[in-house]
């Protein structure tokens, strides 16, 4: 288990509630970054399961494409109080260096973001999760699962499976980090892939099994608010991913939806009684799809239906998934900036009201706020 310290010269302590800091200007560094694209082809995992987008071409007009605007910010997540949103800034082209930032919110009046954890530009990743106690981030970084201390920026590596472990998610008690091993290496048993748990008390890792079988998932999976269940998306046929739920002890594994499309990014409501998710028609592919929409379903699988508005932005890179605030009403997501040119972190309610931009436009010379 490797432990790396943060960048030298950083403060040795910082309160979890971010202190106010005056704006700083950084010289633009004309350096190009290769953004990590975590979209595989079709993976033949397990018992005939289909994992990943299927490169099937639909008939003309069946899958309208949205204009794709670049975003240098990605992965917004709320802290436990709902007063701050952290995100990854992924390019030195703008006024700020690469790293994990947070925007402090007071009654949703924004202040300039503050860097918490500097990251190496070539290892940019949008997979970020904030621990329930507010003290650490879990992230995909350098091909592995790491944690980063909010107070000091110190980094710690937990896995040694590069580049296969992805999509870290905290258990509600803050003890476990769930992640998804997205492929099998040659000769490995099925249980090497799929969902796994890290016990952050002792560093041990185990597979999340259901009925003794590996639990394969498409992208990210999520704990329920009470920590008793896990929601995930899984391939069931070519171009079709559906929502599944299981108990954390491996029992009760069952399918929740039957929509015949690409169901991704399950997210529990605050009371654990319903689940939001993204739905894209079969074969269209969620990236850059103009007909990607937000749906909701009861936790028992009843009453799946489209949400009145899309909780995300189909016009922006990293426009999905959104992050639901602890109040269960506000979300953070990547959307177009005030000029309609690039992706920034925005907040709004799940009903589409109180829309705000909470990070700067990254164009050089733009005033903030």
Cα–Cα distance for residue pair 262/93, rounded to 1 Å:
34
Mean pLDDT of 265-272: 96
pLDDT at 6 over 70: no
- pTM reported for the whole predicted model: 0.80
pLDDT at 66 over 60: yes
More confident call, 45 vs 165: 165
Fold observed for domain 42-51+63-357 = Neuraminidase (2.120.10)
- The tokens describing 277, both together, are 């998710």
pLDDT band at 35 (very low <50, low <70, confident <90, very high): very low
pLDDT at 112 over 90: no
Cα–Cα distance for residue pair 150/262, rounded to 1 Å:
35
pLDDT at 33 over 50: no
Residue 235 forms beta bridges with which residues?
241
- The tokens describing 105, both together, are 């919110």
- The tokens describing 64, both together, are 């309208």
Distance of CA 61 to the CA centre of its chain: 30
Q: Are 106 and 83 in contact (CB under 8 A)?
A: yes
More confident call, 65 vs 195: 195
Average pLDDT, the chain: 80
Sequence-distant (≥ 6) Cβ neighbours of residue 85 within 8 angstroms: 76, 77, 78, 79, 102, 103, 105, 323, 332, 345, 347, 358
At residue 170, the pLDDT reads 98
At residue 41, the pLDDT reads 29
Structure confidence by residue, pLDDT tens digits, 118-174: 888 777 778 999 999 999 999 999 999 999 999 999 999 999 987 789 999 999 999
More confident call, 241 vs 361: 241
Residue 104 forms beta bridges with which residues?
84
Structure confidence by residue, pLDDT tens digits, 88-105: 987 655 567 788 888 766
* 25: three-class secondary structure by DSSP: coil
Pairing, β 128-130 against β 136-141:
antiparallel
Over pLDDT 90: what percentage of the chain?
54
């Amino acid at each position: 288990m490797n432990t790396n310290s943060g960048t030298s010269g950083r403060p040795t302590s910082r309160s979890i509630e971010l202190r106010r800091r005056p704006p700083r200007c950084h010289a633009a560094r004309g350096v190009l970054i290769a953004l990590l694209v975590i979209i595989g082809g079709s993976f033949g995992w397990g018992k005939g399961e289909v994992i990943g987008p299927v490169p099937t071409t639909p008939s003309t007009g069946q899958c309208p494409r949205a204009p794709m605007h670049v975003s240098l910010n990605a992965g917004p997540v709320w802290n436990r109080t709902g007063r701050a949103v952290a995100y990854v800034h992924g390019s030195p082209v703008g006024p700020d260096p690469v790293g994990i930032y947070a925007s402090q919110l007071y009654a949703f009046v924004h202040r300039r973001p503050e860097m918490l954890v500097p990251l190496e530009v070539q290892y940019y990743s949008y997979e970020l999760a904030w621990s329930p106690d507010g003290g650490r981030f879990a992230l995909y970084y350098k091909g592995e699962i790491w944690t980063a201390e909010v107070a000091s920026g110190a980094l710690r590596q937990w896995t040694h499976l590069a580049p296969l472990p992805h999509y870290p998610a905290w258990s509600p008690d803050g003890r476990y980090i769930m992640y998804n091993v997205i492929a099998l290496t040659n000769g490995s048993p099925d249980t090497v892939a799929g969902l796994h748990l890290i016990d952050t008390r002792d560093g041990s890792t185990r597979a999340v099994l259901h009925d003794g079988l590996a639990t394969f998932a498409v992208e990210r999976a999520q704990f329920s608010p009470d920590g008793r269940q896990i929601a995930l998306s899984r391939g069931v046929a070519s171009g079709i991913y559906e929502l599944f739920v299981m108990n954390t002890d491996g029992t009760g594994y069952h399918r929740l939806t039957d929509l015949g499309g690409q169901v991704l990014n399950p997210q529990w409501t605050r009371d654990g009684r319903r689940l939001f998710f993204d739905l894209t028609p079969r074969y269209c592919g969620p990236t850059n799809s103009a007909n990607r929409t937000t749906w909701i379903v009861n936790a028992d699988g009843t009453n799946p239906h489209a949400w009145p508005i899309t909780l995300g932005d189909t016009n922006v890179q990293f426009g999905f998934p959104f992050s639901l605030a602890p109040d269960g009403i506000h979300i953070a997501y990547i959307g177009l900036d005030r000029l309609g040119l690039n992706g920034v972190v925005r907040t709004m309610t799940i009903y589409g009201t109180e829309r705000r931009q909470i990070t700067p436009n990254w164009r050089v010379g733009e005033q903030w706020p």
